[in-house]
Amino acid sequence: MSTGVTDKTQKTIGGIRRKFAPWNDPGAVPLIRYKNVTKRFGEFTAVDNLSLDIYEREFFALLGPSGCGKTTLMRMLAGFEEPTEGQITLAGQDLVGMPPYRRQTNMMFQSYALFPHMSVWDNIAFGLKQDGMEKAAVAARVEEMLKLVKLETFARRKPHQLSGGQRQRVALARSLAKRPKVLLLDEPLGALDKKLREATQFELMDIQMELGMTFLIVTHDQEEAMTVADRIAVMDHGRLVQVAPPAEVYEQPNCRYVADFVGDVNIIDAKIESVAPGAVRLRSDAADMSLMIAQDVEAKPGDQAWIAIRPEKVRVDLDPPVEQGVNCLSGTIWDIGYLGDLSIYHVELPNGARIKAAKPNLTRVVERPISWDDKVWVSWTPDAGVVLTR
Amino acid sequence: MARGTKGRWLVLAVPYLWLFALFLVPFFIVFKISLSQDAIAQPPYEPTFDLSAGWDAIREAVGQLNFDNYSYVLSWDNEFLQAYGSSLWIAGISTLLLLIVGYPIAYGMARAPKSIRPTLLMMVILPFWTSFLIRVYAWIGILSPEGLLNQFLMFVGLTDEPLEILATDTAVYIGIVYSYLPFMILPLYAALEKMDETLLEAAADLGCPPFAAFWKITWPLSLPGVFAGCLLCFIPAVGEFVIPDLLGGSDTMMIGKSLWTEFSVNRSWTVSSAVAVLLLLVLVVPIVFYQNVQAREMEGR
Ligand SMILES: Nc1ncnc2c1ncn2[C@@H]1O[C@H](COP(=O)(O)OP(=O)(O)OP(=O)(O)O)[C@@H](O)[C@H]1O
Ligand SMILES: [Mg+2]
């Protein structure tokens, strides 16, 4: 890890650290604009009337299940697919019809697409030579890139002589070498081991900030998205479901799909009982009492709703908690999962639903106080969960 | 374990056995004839080995073998060397023409929609359903002074009198390019088809326009196919005798034709054998070259 990027809401721009949230600034002009973009392959709609603004210097992550259109979205920006409908602009310039070799974007391909007949060195130098860069400058840049991805000793090898992770790093170096305005990374770190992946994540954030580039990254690793991204877009079937900073996506998902897709979550079926500013009361089969969530919600009593609550925010106790009366359910331990840092308690409620509660293992667990089939209480504070209406 | 080893030996032995029976044995027979002398006999050369005559007779027969036929063939006056040179030249030019004609076809096939590729492949192989000889004869009908081509050209008004194509080297080139085209297209197609198209996207992404990307990516990656196709065409083209015989003129010199004349007209088995052995030596160079390329290609996987 190099310069620790701790607070992601801040960025060093022009030497000063300041709050970075251009998406909240109505005056900010987006660098990349998808305007009502639809992409169809024959009958199949891969991207469905999607609009998205990405700002300069932003590190933007796309999350979503396999086949939801993440790669297609990127390929349209890089110029390998033309949108069936809609418009894409980069720095105000309409990209439709512009060939890929004239676009100021570089892409790291999901399949790497390394040139098999060229050495690692020549692969990385390819784009630089294409720009007519001077020989010495090319060499310097290639060396710099090799150092970055820790492949200095592999410069003369051909791609087929490298391991999967090494190839991935070459692909990364090749796409970074030209220092494009916009870099598209399609699952750039999937083949790396955890340690190297984390180190590279921080390298990427450093490079991105240092060179003022805009990154669009696809990843299947939510932790990675949370770590690197300024904003995350959660996609489903060619649509954007939520676009927000990582903390917001995690703490305030706007629907069950997002809550379920990002991180682990308990979803409790409920009906709205009463709505007041900053407080919602709900009724659920799972509890004998009404449940309370401190939140504004647009709904009326009787509406179907769901409570989403993260396992780490749920308490499990053998005795009824002191501040009884709010969000307190009784149940029995159905299973216990040991994850090393955490223990996950699966609690079965009287109506058969199950709730997961995560407890950090603060001491070496020899014998847990709570065991299988124990009668327990699960509880959470009103500000721990969110009410979802869809 | 022991049984496994034996089984492997057996599997390995089969191709070598075939090679031995179908290539090496005939080669040594021809080689032996090339060291013999013409004779009015049946077969028309001597000495012949008679195994029943005993060891001494065989030793004596071996003593009669010599390289006279080779010095005859290699002497400048007998026009074999010219024929070798001319054959290599004609085969070389033809191979180049084949590459120029075949590459775009193979490229088009490899980039065609997957569903129609088998049909295109079929169409390339289709001419093989008719005898080679008949197809070459058909070209006589097309190229002759009152043939289809000349009739068409005069009908369109491009020429007033028929062009002299038949019985010239041009006709030989046309014949070779036509007959060998599938042998050029198929290896090229195989090489181009397995190329990953995202490589071209990657090149474009890095700022390389399509034409430059062809020379930097597609062409180098298709080189194994280019070598295979060229050798597959060049080697048989050097020894070709039907096409120059039927389409070429009396002054078209090709070693296959000389060999055939030597064998059938002059009835000299020994000299034609020497010509054949020398031809083989000439071709060993490109074959070894091809082997090297293939070995390197295998290593590349
Ligand atoms: N050229 C194409 N022709 C037809 N369908 C396509 C084509 N390219 C993509 N698709 C379809 O579009 C959908 C979206 O594909 P895309 O590659 O964008 O998915 P993805 O989100 O990147 O998935 P993954 O996470 O698995 O990489 C998929 O269902 C895919 O089958
Ligand atoms: Mg993808």
User: Does residue A119 fall inside a structural domain?
Assistant: yes
User: Does residue A277 fall inside a structural domain?
Assistant: yes
Q: Which pairs with CB-CB distance under 8 Å and at least 24 residues apart come from B288-294?
A: B289/B231, B290/B227, B290/B228, B290/B231, B293/B224, B293/B227, B293/B228, B294/B224, B294/B228
- B294 vs chain A: nearest CA distance in angstroms? 15
Give the number of the ligand closest to the Cα of residue A76. 1
Any ligand 1 atom below 6 A from CB of A238: no
Tell me: do A249 and A324 sit in the same domain: no
- Section B8-12 average pLDDT: 84
Contacts of A98 (CB under 8 A, 6+ apart): A79
Write out chain B residues lying below 8 Å of A126, CB-based.
Answer: 203, 206, 208, 216
Tell me: do A277 and A237 sit in the same domain: no
Tell me: do A246 and A278 sit in the same domain: no
CB-based contact B181:B173 (threshold 8 Å): no
Cα(A270)–Cα(B13) distance, integer angstroms: 77
pLDDT for the residue numbered A4: 41
Please say which residue of A205, A225, A256 terminates a domain.
A256
Give the CATH architecture of domain B85-258+285-300.
Answer: Orthogonal Bundle (1.10)
For chain B, give every domain's residue range: 85-258+285-300
User: Does residue A15 fall inside a structural domain?
Assistant: no
Per-residue pLDDT tens digits for B92-139:
999 999 999 999 999 999 999 999 999 999 999 998 889 999 999 999
Cα(B58)–Cα(A367) distance, integer angstroms: 97
The three-class DSSP label of residue B112 is coil
Sequence-ordered alpha helix ranges (H) in chain B? 2-19, 25-34, 55-64, 68-73, 80-111, 117-125, 132-143, 148-156, 169-193, 198-205, 210-213, 219-238, 242-247, 255-264, 269-299
Residue A178 and residue B207: Cβ atoms within 8 Å?
A: yes
Specify the higher pLDDT residue, B253 or B218. Answer: B218
Tell me: do A228 and A317 sit in the same domain: no
Residue B209 and residue A101: Cβ atoms within 8 Å?
A: yes
DSSP state of A78: H
Write out chain A residues lying below 8 Å of B207, CB-based.
Answer: 101-102, 127, 130-131, 178
Note the maximum CA span of chain A.
76
**Counting one residue from A and one from B, how many pairs have CB atoms under 8 Å apart?**
66
Nearest CA in chain B to A174: B206
Cα(A143)–Cα(A96) distance, integer angstroms: 35
Write out chain A residues lying below 8 Å of B204, CB-based.
Answer: 79-80, 99-101
Please say which residue of A193, A226, A256 terminates a domain.
A256
Residue B1 pLDDT exceeds 60: no
User: Does residue A153 fall inside a structural domain?
Assistant: yes
Cα(A52)–Cα(B73) distance, integer angstroms: 80
Any ligand 1 atom below 6 A from CB of A219: no
Per-residue pLDDT tens digits for B15-54:
899 989 999 999 999 999 999 988 888 888 888 887 787 8
* Spans in chain A with pLDDT lower than 70: 1-18, 322-325, 365-367
pLDDT for the residue numbered A106: 92
Which of A80, A111, A126 shows the shortest C-beta gap to B206?
A126
Which of A101, A111, A160 shows the shortest C-beta gap to B204?
A101
Residues facing A45 on adjacent strands: A40
Any ligand 1 atom below 6 A from CB of A65: no
Residue B88 pLDDT exceeds 90: yes
Q: Calculate the alpha carbon distances from B164 to A324, B136, B154, B156, B179 in Å.
A: 109, 17, 13, 17, 21
User: Does residue A18 fall inside a structural domain?
Assistant: no
Cα(A107)–Cα(A188) distance, integer angstroms: 10
Is the bond preceding B43 in cis, omega lying within 30 degrees of 0?
yes
What count of other Cβ atoms lies within 10 Å of the Cβ of residue B260? 17
Tell me: do A229 and A338 sit in the same domain: no
Q: What ipTM did this prediction achieve?
A: 0.79
pLDDT for the residue numbered A53: 93
Residue A116 and residue B301: Cβ atoms within 8 Å?
A: no
Sequence-ordered alpha helix ranges (H) in A149-294? 164-177, 194-211, 222-228, 246-251, 256-261
Tell me phi and psi for residue A347, to 5 degrees. Answer: -110, 130
Tell me: do A192 and A67 sit in the same domain: yes
Residue B2 pLDDT exceeds 70: no
Nearest CA in chain B to A80: B201
How many helices and strands in chain A, by DSSP H and E? 8, 22
pLDDT for the residue numbered A11: 62
Q: What is the CATH number of the domain that holds A327?
A: 2.40.50.140
Contacts of B126 (CB under 8 A, 6+ apart): none
Per-residue pLDDT tens digits for B144-171:
988 889 889 888 888 888 888 888 889 9
Tell me: do A298 and A275 sit in the same domain: yes
Cα(B176)–Cα(A28) distance, integer angstroms: 69
CB-based contact A270:A284 (threshold 8 Å): yes
What's the domain range around A320?
270-388
Interval between CA B203 and ligand 2 midpoint (Å):
19
The single residue listed with the structure tokens 């300041």 is A18
User: Six-digit token pair at B17?
Assistant: 């056995």
Among B189, B273, B234, CA closest to B87: B234
Tell me: do A186 and A244 sit in the same domain: yes
pLDDT for the residue numbered B139: 93
Which residues of chain B from 28 to 87 reach within 8 Å of chain A, CB to CB?
none
- Number of independent structural domains in chain A: 2
The single residue listed with the structure tokens 């046309």 is B174
Tell me: do A83 and A216 sit in the same domain: yes
Specify the higher pLDDT residue, B294 or A334. Answer: A334
Per-residue pLDDT tens digits for A260-309:
888 889 888 888 888 888 888 888 877 777 788 888 888 788 888 898 99
Any ligand 1 atom below 6 A from CB of A46: yes
CB-based contact A141:A65 (threshold 8 Å): no
Any ligand 1 atom below 6 A from CB of A169: no
Which residues of chain B from 201 to 260 reach within 8 Å of chain A, CB to CB?
201-210, 212, 216-217, 220-221
Tell me: do A201 and A144 sit in the same domain: yes
CB-based contact A148:A176 (threshold 8 Å): yes
Please say which residue of A256, A282, A311 terminates a domain.
A256
Give the number of the ligand closest to the Cα of residue A234. 1
Any ligand 1 atom below 6 A from CB of A111: no
Cα(A53)–Cα(A33) distance, integer angstroms: 5
Tell me: do A195 and A50 sit in the same domain: yes
Residue B209 pLDDT exceeds 90: yes
Compute the mean pLDDT over every residue in chain B, rounded to the nearest whole number.
Answer: 89
Per-residue pLDDT tens digits for B52-78:
878 888 888 888 888 989 999 898 888
N-terminal to C-terminal alpha carbon distance within chain B: 30
Q: What is the CATH number of the domain that holds A187?
A: 3.40.50.300
- B217 vs chain A: nearest CA distance in angstroms? 7
How would you list the strands of the sheet with A44-54, edge to edge? Answer: A44-54, A32-41, A85-90, A93-94
Tell me: do A102 and A245 sit in the same domain: yes
Among A146, A182, A358, CA closest to A263: A358
DSSP string, B205-216: HTT--HHHHIII
